[in-house]
Chains A and B, each alone.
Chain A
Amino acid sequence: MDALSAPFPVRHRKLSLDIQGNKTDIVICSYDDHFLVIATQIGSMGTTLHARKEEGVSIHPTFSVSVIFGKRDEPVLVACARQLIEHISNCGSSRPLVLSLGLKDHSVGTLRGVVTAVIVNRLW
């Protein structure tokens, strides 16, 4: 099988759903060393966060979440990334997550909706 007939090396999943009255497009991609999740209601990637599991010897893993682009004063966005990276870790993967959230509202209900939709359609 040559390179061009091999399947594309990055798996992805795309979905569109209504979260708290706002149409939300979600794309989930699986790279060799990262997961990328884009959830947008505004037509652009919005705030981008990087979340990873810390190296450590403790039984309970710790996680680091940082905003790399966009709103740095929205704790809901950080919470969303934190929940997803913990889920990734609990499923057995150590890959970091790049999460882009372009949301119209930053309510807890929207956060829950996004997290649930991503987990149901996860690639990890």
Chain B
Amino acid sequence: MAQGSLDSNGDITYPTSIDGESSAANVNAGLDRLRINAADENDDDGAVQITCFSDLSDDLTLHFQIIRLHKQIYAWIGCNSAKFGHLYAAAPTRPNNMVSVTSLLGGASDNTGSGIARRIVLKTGLNVVLACNIPKDSPMLEAAAEKKLVRKLIDLGYTKSKI
């Protein structure tokens, strides 16, 4: 932060740099450049953002992949492997904003991913397609994975309001 001094009017003045421009002006120009650069990196609303991360929990490795499209989120959760797993789609549906979930691939008798998809929509308000290979009958693992994924979606700023 630039060190300023108090002048007789009670205003803070900052020392000028060698080329004569005030340091504050330089800082502001720099901030503007950063904002422009940040906007470029985040791209416009239409660009796709992909986030991949892994988490070690109870000797199991959970892998997460989030692909953010402008109007939808695709997420994949892998448990110790890179198998695709079962595919679900979930979204808030009118008129009363309830959540609808459907199984797209696999998962007819195993609802591990559908519960996660449904709760992601409830907590984030997003339109979600989720692929998940978490084994069935693992409620603790399911809850841990869901918590990490929702946390990440919030941290990335992808969420809309809760339903």
Contacts and interface: CB of A to CB of B under 8 A. Distances in A.
B89 interface: yes
A43 B129 CA distance: 13
B82 A10 contact: yes
Given A48-B104, A69-B89, A10 B52 contact: yes
Contacts of B150: none
A92 to B, nearest CB: 19
Interface residues of B, number: 33
Nearest to A69: B104
Interface stretch (B27-35, B68-76, B138-146): B68-76
- Which applies to chain B's interface (DSSP): helix, strand, loop or mixed? strand
A27 interface: yes
A68 B104 CA distance: 6
A61 B48 CA distance: 35
B13 to A, nearest CB: 47
B63 A8 contact: yes
Given A3-B54, A38-B67, A45-B69, A32 B82 contact: yes
Interface of B: 45-48, 50, 52-56, 61, 63, 65, 67, 69-72, 74, 76, 78, 81-84, 87, 89, 102, 104-105, 127, 129, 131
